[in-house]
Structure 1
Amino acid sequence: AGILSTHLHSDGESAEILAMYNPGTHANHWKEERYADFDEAPIGQMFMSQQMIDNAQLFPYMDGPAVFKKAVVKFPEVIMEALAKNGLTPADLDLLIPHQANLRIAQFVQQKLGLRDDQVYNNIQHYGNTTAASVPIALCEAWEKGLIKEKELICLAAFGSGFTWASALLRW
């Protein structure tokens, strides 16, 4: 019993953009593929300009359809990565507990992996998106309902802010 493997990915590119530039010390690999669009401030600008205020550039924005398109690709990839690392397939899973951000994403992942309804636990329809707590809440709830038995294979999978995605395989 225990954790079989964990896999965490992130584009993390925005942290690179926030870095202090010193001549000869900084590569430009952050200009490669991006998972989100953003407005780049001129190097050294440490304030909010009037133009940025006028253009409402100080408010966060999420492109839901773009996030959906990436999530339905990255979610199955990171789950398959964990399974492959352990010589397993989706058929070996007793239960997948996905991040409870969007039921359509969870259903898409279920279909893509060929999982039955009883192999996927969702509770978003009861609580909505509980953000970072969604997987632990769903795991606890599934266990309390008796849906997890000793020695079963459980996959936890999530994606979140900064476009991170991760999975963990547990042998209960």
Structure 2
Amino acid sequence: MTQLRKAKIAGTGMYVPPKVVTNKDLEAVMDTSDEWIKQRSGIEQRHHVEGIGTSDLAFEAAKNAMTAANVSAEDIDLILLATLSPDHQFPGSSAVLQAKLGLSTTPSMDIKCQCSGFIYGLNVGKLFVESGQYNRVLVVGAEAHSPVLDFSTEGRDVTVLFGDGAGAAIIEASDDDSQIMHCSLHSQGEFANRLWIERPGTAGGEWLTEAHKAERQHFPYMEGRYVFKHAVTRLSEVIHETLEKNDLTLADIDHFLFHQANLRINEKVAAMLEIPEEKCHNNIMRYGNCSAASIPMLLDECVRQEKVKKGDIILMAAFGAGFTWAGSVIKW
């Protein structure tokens, strides 16, 4: 039986739109405060789009990743775009990104696994490269949340948490010890309505009515405490599972990159597992929750700041709507 080749991340990139929205800015449009937001989430500011959408953010992040990997768009065999905030209901934003990259018939696919989307995409890309079907895969996590947020006091619990941005990675065959190792993926749809945007949608045979709008079903809804509790539990579980599947221990990991949903979730998980503070990286204070983009953005920052060195072992873990959760180990 032919042995599968290994897949690695050859380059990373990120992009956030230039508009910065601070907690003080939000104080001007809703009943909230800088102190309340920081205490609850650790967030100090976030970036919001102006006149552009998800595929535009993805395009910029992809260009940066390709530069880092020293490849061109023509070298890409497959595009995977993880997002919960597509440019349009259809077609998928991956196809829009493909056109913006100037490609002709390169296959593209959207992955809608919310905050776990990048790790899901990483696993899909890894399998394609390992199998030999494709030599190089572009995986992007991109989100433009701000156009669908409710900037009123009634919507503040969700709105203060989210930002816009994109992160990307180039996956290709590895000729050394660098590799994407086992990924652990999970979902639990019975809790879908604890964190969602209910409308527009086809459930019940109706798309979006005035009654739906009156009930605020077209704005994001989150049952915060419930999500927090499940996130802490599932992140801890998937970290242990991912370590076990890769025959590693917590002490073997050089860098922990958790999804940037809430700094307090990450702090609690790290404390429960007794992970040293210097091994846990966070950037939520500057960008807020960028859903599928959070982990690749954080990875790119760590790489460009030279925190990650050749041979380092990185563990990534995410939890999000669906519920979905996932973990992955990378040897850099």
SS in 1 for 2:239: helix
SS in 1 for 2:238: helix
Q: How much has 1:159 moved relative to structure 2?
A: 1.4
Asked whether 1:112 is paired with 2:289, we answer no
Q: What residue is the counterpart of 1:58 in the other structure?
A: 217
Counterparts of residues 5-24 of structure 1 (less than 5 Å): 5-13=182-190
Q: What residue is the counterpart of 2:17 in the other structure?
A: none
Structure 1 gaps, min length 5: 14-33
Q: For 1:99, which of 245, 259, 262 is the aligned residue?
A: 259
* Aligned positions, number: 148
Q: How much has 1:12 moved relative to structure 2?
A: 3.0
Identity fraction in percent? 41
SS in 2 for 1:101: coil
RMSD between superposed Cα atoms in Å = 2.4
Q: How much has 1:80 moved relative to structure 2?
A: 0.7
Alignment partners' CA distance in 2, 1:129 and 1:50 = 29
TM-score scaled to structure 1, two decimals?
0.76
Contact persistence 1:90–1:114 (CA under 8 A): no
Counterparts of residues 71-86 of structure 1 (less than 5 Å): 71-86=231-246
Alignment partners' CA distance in 2, 1:120 and 1:147 = 11
AA aligned opposite 2:290 = T
Structure 1 residues 132 and 51, CA gap change in structure 2 (3 angstroms)? closer
Alignment partners' CA distance in 2, 1:69 and 1:131 = 18
Q: Deviations over 1:20-77 (max 9, x none)?
A: xxxxxxxxxxxxxx465599xxxx9413798964971634421011000000000011
Answer 1 or 2: which has greater strand percent. 2
Alignment partners' CA distance in 1, 2:229 and 2:275 = 20
Structure 1 residues 45 and 123, CA gap change in structure 2 (3 angstroms)? closer
Q: What residue is the counterpart of 1:122 in the other structure?
A: 282
Q: Which has the higher contact order (CA 8 A, sep 6+)?
A: 1
Structure 1 residues 90 and 49, CA gap change in structure 2 (3 angstroms)? closer
Over 6 Å off, 4+ runs: 48-51
Asked whether 1:3 is paired with 2:180, we answer yes
Alignment partners' CA distance in 2, 1:62 and 1:54 = 17
Structure 1 residues 117 and 55, CA gap change in structure 2 (3 angstroms)? same
Structure 1 residues 106 and 45, CA gap change in structure 2 (3 angstroms)? closer
Q: What residue is the counterpart of 1:135 in the other structure?
A: 295
Asked whether 1:156 is paired with 2:316, we answer yes
Q: How much has 1:117 moved relative to structure 2?
A: 1.2
Contact persistence 2:188–2:323 (CA under 8 A): yes
Q: Deviations over 1:119-165 (max 9, x none)?
A: 11101111111221110010010011111111111011111222110
